[in-house]
Chains A and B, each alone.
Chain A
Amino acid sequence: MFKLLEPNKIYKITSRAPRYILFLFIVVLSVGLVEALILSPADYKQSDAVRIMYVHVPAAWISLGIFSSLTLLSICGFIFKNKNFFLISKSLAPSGFVFNVIALVTGSIWGKPTWGTWWAWDARITSMLIMAIFYLMYLIVWRIYDKEEKVFKISTFITVIGIINIPIIKYSVDWWNTLHQPASINILSKSSIHSSMLYPLLIMTAAFALFSLLIFLMKYNTELIKIKNRGLDRL
């Protein structure tokens, strides 16, 4: 099954896909921005400050999703002894980190008008900051070590320890008394958010997901060419 995903076979697709994804991303983002900034209603309590949700929430969701994927891919890389899993994982990390930073910064901007402070050592915010540190450690490990085996081991260790933080982020608003509001969207039960706000949120999430796919493909292609460059040196 993994032979179908061999870099040599999929490069034709991964090298051509970015231009189409970039086009789709611009279209979806444009629709999302009009919905988020103009068409969606203001909140009865937070007024127009609620519009920050349309960048803050998708960024947080995607950074959490990418970190979980990093862990899964790293573990699969070890189980199946397949280097491609690590390559995919490495290519996903930069966009995950940027989304994590966006979630923290936009959360801080949102905090000022709603809570009256830019920052609080609240359980949700602190656990998101810890995830950003794990992302940073993961990225640094790939930069500072040359030996692949060592990088694979250390980066997997970081993701396995970091994944413990994911349920803490998710349930921090239920387990502790926090400034952060509880989840408004639930997959298993009824969401408390109105459809006039839910649809723009989903459109922005789709745009953010397309952007992370775009960055992933470009980074993955870069990594493949790096490998091929080393191959040419050996010729």
Chain B
Amino acid sequence: MINEIYFMNGYAGYVLSAFSFTLLSFLGLYLVVKVQLVREQNKFVAKFGTLDSEKAKSAKQQRINKEILANATNN
């Protein structure tokens, strides 16, 4: 049984390389997109920090800005 699963009647090389390529592509895409997201969040937090109190107050009135700041601190 274990041998059957392991060797797949001689097709294991093809099957496992197809599955590995797929999973590695998933991992690669996930990491690239995650890095882009974190980079933009950090940029947002840094820009927000440079605003004077008046501008920061008006920017914080937008719900989305508050959410971005909250998510950036969670990451």
Q: How far is the CA of A49 from the CA of B51 in the complex (A)?
A: 60
Nearest B residue (CB) for A97: B29
Given A222-B36, A233-B47, also A49-B29 (CB < 8 A): no
Interface pair B55/A235, CB less than 8 Å apart: yes
Q: How many residues of B contact A (CB 8 A)?
A: 38
The 7 closest A-B CB pairs, nearest first, are A48-B8, A225-B40, A106-B18, A48-B11, A49-B11, A55-B22, A52-B18
Interface pair B12/A11, CB less than 8 Å apart: no
Interface size bracket, A side: 35 or more
Q: How far is the CA of A48 from the CA of B8 in the complex (A)?
A: 6
Interface pair B37/A94, CB less than 8 Å apart: no
Interface of A, secondary structure class, is: helix
Q: How far is the CA of A127 from the CA of B40 in the complex (A)?
A: 36
Interface residues of A (CB under 8 A from B): 7-8, 11-12, 15, 33, 36-38, 42, 47-49, 51-52, 55-56, 59, 94-95, 98, 101-102, 105-106, 109-110, 112-113, 211, 214-215, 218-219, 221-222, 224-226, 228-229, 232-233, 235
Taking CB atoms, residues of chain B closer than 8 Å to A224 are 64
Taking CB atoms, residues of chain B closer than 8 Å to A8 are 62-64
Interface pair A52/B14, CB less than 8 Å apart: yes
Given contacts A42-B8, A48-B10, A51-B11, 11 further A-B contacts (CB under 8 A): A11-B64, A12-B63, A48-B11, A48-B12, A109-B17, A112-B14, A225-B40, A225-B41, A225-B68, A229-B44, A232-B59
